[in-house]
Amino acid sequence: MTAIRSFIALEITGAAVLDHIEKIQEELGRNRARLKLVEPQNLHFTLHFLGNVESARIPDIKEIFQELKFPAFDLELSGLRCFRPTRLRVVWVGVSKGADECIKLQQLLGQQLRGRRFSLEGRKYSPHLTVARARKGANRAQLLPVLDILEQYANYEFGTTRIDEVKLKKSILTPRGPIYEDIEVRKLG
């Protein structure tokens, strides 16, 4: 049986928000820091990383999606951050409005997935949009310029995007980076 590396996500569709993110990414890419920028088509909020799911289990997830009842909502993105400045690995954008809805949707899906015996991560969910990752082998000196950019954009307002669908995504890992494909899309609202 084949396994499909998959996750459940919310995608950013607001053109203005994407433009702001792209400008910040350009700035991150201009310095000498060793960062891998997330491609615009790959920007998303992960709700649940499912890992390798047997293809025979995909219909269970699709059924959860079909039964899902959740309203569409707005996400207001603000602030450029990282989880641990002393060991910078991931640069991300935060949520100033809509985080509660994001968390409720993540929890609702988690209950349904656990009820069907899917194994999920146990850590507390914190909605964030990854925009860059430190490359392997990058040392602190190579990442110092990023800390200055994080400070400069700590309170930056990226804008608001409408979240009106949730997606089950397939992730194909390649040497050039991941390729994501939609497996199932569920409209919200």
pLDDT value of position 95: 97
Per-residue pLDDT of the chain (189 residues; tens, 9 = 90+): 799 999 999 999 899 999 999 999 999 988 767 789 999 999 999 999 999 999 999 999 999 999 999 999 999 999 999 987 777 889 999 999 999 999 999 999 999 999 999 999 888 999 999 999 988 766 677 778 888 999 999 999 999 999 999 999 999 999 888 999 999 999 998
CA atoms within 13 A on the CB side of 22: 11
H, E, C per residue of 56-86? HHHHHHHHHHHHCCCCCEEEEEEEEEECCHH
pLDDT in tens, 55-71: 999 999 999 999 999 99
Q: Are the beta carbons of 44 and 9 closer than 8 angstroms?
A: yes
**Residue 31 has what pLDDT?**
72
Both tokens assigned to 188 = 């919200």
Enzyme catalytic residues: 44, 128
Residue 88 in contact with residue 135, Cβ under 8 Å? no
- What's the CA dihedral at 158, 161, 165, 169 to 10 degrees? -20
pLDDT value of residue 15: 94
Whole-angstrom distance, CA of residue 69 vs CA of residue 45? 19
Domains of the chain: 3-187 (3.90.1140.10)
Which sign does the torsion angle of CA 52, 181, 20, 164 carry? negative
Phi-psi region of 107 (alpha: psi -120 to 50; beta: other; left: phi over 0): alpha
Q: Three-state SS string across 21-48, please?
A: HHHHHHHHHHCCCCEEECCHHHCEEEEE
Structure tokens at 139: 């040392």
